[in-house]
A and B are shown apart, each in its own frame.
Chain A
């Protein structure tokens, strides 16, 4: 073991020398071409931009945002970020394999719900001091920041935000005699409106949900529970309260949709592969979806967005998306920080993210000039402040795992035997404690 360590270190040193040489060369090249950059600050608040090559991984689900950011960064900086996109379902496998052999990229994006586990496993470098020195370090999306904080130290910053909101089809609402400007404000209204649209018949269905997809359930069902002021877990994410009366009321509504065929066919077997594909076809009345699909809707579809309501009102959202951190084994932490800090700056947030109809990661930029053009976007941006990002070390294996205990609860509650919910909730607690 020792000899391989020495060998590995030696190789790293050779690599570092090579990189150093490369840096010098690029710097010289910059001189020759006249040098337009005045961003020659070494270190400082933003970290060095000295022509380093940085590696970065992101999952396929949020690659559009990551790619846009990286492209804009590379165009305006000497540092170059090389982005690798990894299939969403396989991200954990990939990160795990790399973590074991200390070969993580310099910058590691992660689904925000996995961040606590990665942080406690020591995958990320501590960026508390750098973050505190950043002028807009206090304005970052609070739910993402909480997920990336361990024992008071900060490890990650928000990267992309994907929030769950209700999408409704105005054309179908009009046909069904509903007011297209009055989306549901309670779960009961949602139920009535879905059933009204479903009566149109033909290819049209009232609503849809991913009934065999734990991640979808977390993302779209929990906001209804939160909206009523009810929590789903205790504060440190070690015990579940998914058997609360509010939760059961939410499950019962979904159960009704499944039993009365208010949903489009295939809800029971939907593993998350196609659940966002139906609404754009214009055959679904009202359903919760990721806010990132806003920019992907066909131009001729007349639709509105609304907050996900609780049984008797209130509104909430699941603040999902990705966080960004510097991996603990990175040799270029300073340069990596330069990218992180830039990605949170005004230019990146407004001209890159907001311009693509994406949610900004800074609360002080919610009402930017692009958002103002589309009221739906302002609604989503302000909703983020009311939303929650659940926190647990064992989140993935409890809630996202297709063979984990949460999916069992979902399916018992909606398609199977609802009396098993209490026992299923205990199994979830077991898994969280584990």
Chain B
């Protein structure tokens, strides 16, 4: 089959173009005296990276360029492109009454989630890091929620928080903690904390795992040495565990901040941005522009701005971490 094909391709053009010739043909013969270009290390590297490049190029860069183009055009979702109108979409987006409240809310939410998530994840990691009887089981239990999808987890909590079927409120009433049904999503504060609880529950185990790996990489003899020096528990934790855990903490920080700044699904399912627009995140705003107000142009403009901010933020974070690391 292979032989036939390489002969077939050879015959119509007897002069031959070696470059386009199949590598199984002439290439192998010449390899004896000179490394052909396609066997050099950079060329092979490019070869291995090609699928990644193809995927990223076709399904990320091209759509991204299109988003850029949409952001510069009058583009109603239903009617399609009506031509260039820059910078109208950007000024319109900046003039949205909900923009600044949603930016503020997104930042508050990000700070809250990140602190609680990292704190709990670290506590869990410390609790289950040793091999005592049962720790394996506990690790599994803490990690289990991570196996759920965010949408399923949100639906689950929607049921838990529901005033009709939710189990928490009746439980608290029976225990005498509260006198009347708790409204988990009814006030801005309650809605925020209820959503944070969901996210912490869902992701703490995953972050615990990352930190656990970091903990296990700290050599035991460092602890031994500290104990010899008579360091207390708290002191050991502060001067040994925390600094040596920094790379893992940095990774969880990066993931948590980026993820929280782009939060959408959980609010979409639990609160729809309410009550009284108090839980609108920036991505909810993008979604609203595109699919409620049907203005793709404004949605794209907001996305471009969000992307730019996140890029700057992450580059800064990267720089900062690298700068202090060495």
Contact = CB atoms under 8 A, between A and B. Distances in A.
Interface size band for B: 20 to 34
Contacts of A97: 77
A106 to B, nearest CB: 18
Interface string B66-89: 000000000011111000000000
A137 interface: no
B139 interface: no
B140 interface: no
Contacts of B291: 90, 92-93, 96
Contacts of B180: 265
B163 A271 contact: no
Interface stretch (B204-212, B237-245, B267-275, B314-322): B267-275
B254 interface: no
Given A265-B163, A274-B164, A403-B280, A96 B294 contact: yes
Interface string A91-133: 0110111011000000000000000011001110000000000
Nearest to B287: A93
A170 interface: no
Nearest to B166: A266
Given A100-B77, A100-B80, A92 B292 contact: yes
B98 interface: yes
A267 B164 CA distance: 11
B78 A268 contact: no
Interface string B154-172: 0000100011110000000
Nearest to B284: A403
A6 interface: no
A42 B181 CA distance: 64
Contacts of B288: 401, 403
A402 interface: yes
B163 A212 contact: no
B305 to A, nearest CB: 19
Contacts of A245: none
Interface size band for A: 35 or more
B290 interface: yes
A122 B292 contact: no
Q: Is the interface of B mostly helix, strand, loop or mixed?
A: loop
A278 B294 CA distance: 33
A403 B290 CA distance: 13
Nearest to A101: B80
A397 interface: yes
Given A92-B291, A92-B294, A277-B164, A266 B183 contact: yes
B186 interface: yes
Nearest to B162: A274
A264 B165 CA distance: 13
B300 to A, nearest CB: 12
Contact of A403 (B76, B78, B273): B273
Contacts of A273: 158, 162
Contacts of A118: 78
A397 B78 contact: no
Interface string B185-200: 1100000000000000
B133 to A, nearest CB: 44
B276 interface: yes
Given A397-B293, A402-B272, A123 B185 contact: no
A292 to B, nearest CB: 20
A164 B275 CA distance: 25
B164 to A, nearest CB: 5
A411 B276 contact: yes
Contacts of B235: none
Contacts of A414: none
B183 A269 contact: yes
Contact of B79 (A92, A122, A271): A122
Contacts of A416: 276
B277 interface: yes
Interface string A395-420: 01100111110011001000010000
Interface string A295-313: 0000000000000000000
A416 B277 CA distance: 14
Contacts of A396: 292, 294
Contacts of B98: 403
A228 B257 CA distance: 53
Contacts of A278: 164
B277 A269 contact: no
A271 B272 contact: yes
A269 B163 contact: yes
Contacts of B296: 96, 100
A95 B185 CA distance: 30
18 contacts: A96-B77, A96-B291, A96-B294, A99-B78, A100-B77, A117-B78, A118-B78, A266-B186, A268-B186, A269-B183, A271-B271, A271-B274, A273-B158, A273-B162, A278-B164, A402-B274, A404-B292, A408-B277
Given A401-B292, A403-B98, A403-B277, 12 more contacts: A93-B291, A95-B78, A96-B78, A99-B79, A100-B80, A117-B78, A123-B78, A266-B162, A266-B181, A274-B165, A403-B273, A411-B276
Q: Which 8 A-B pairs have the closest CB atoms?
A: A266-B163, A121-B78, A269-B186, A96-B77, A402-B272, A93-B291, A401-B292, A397-B293
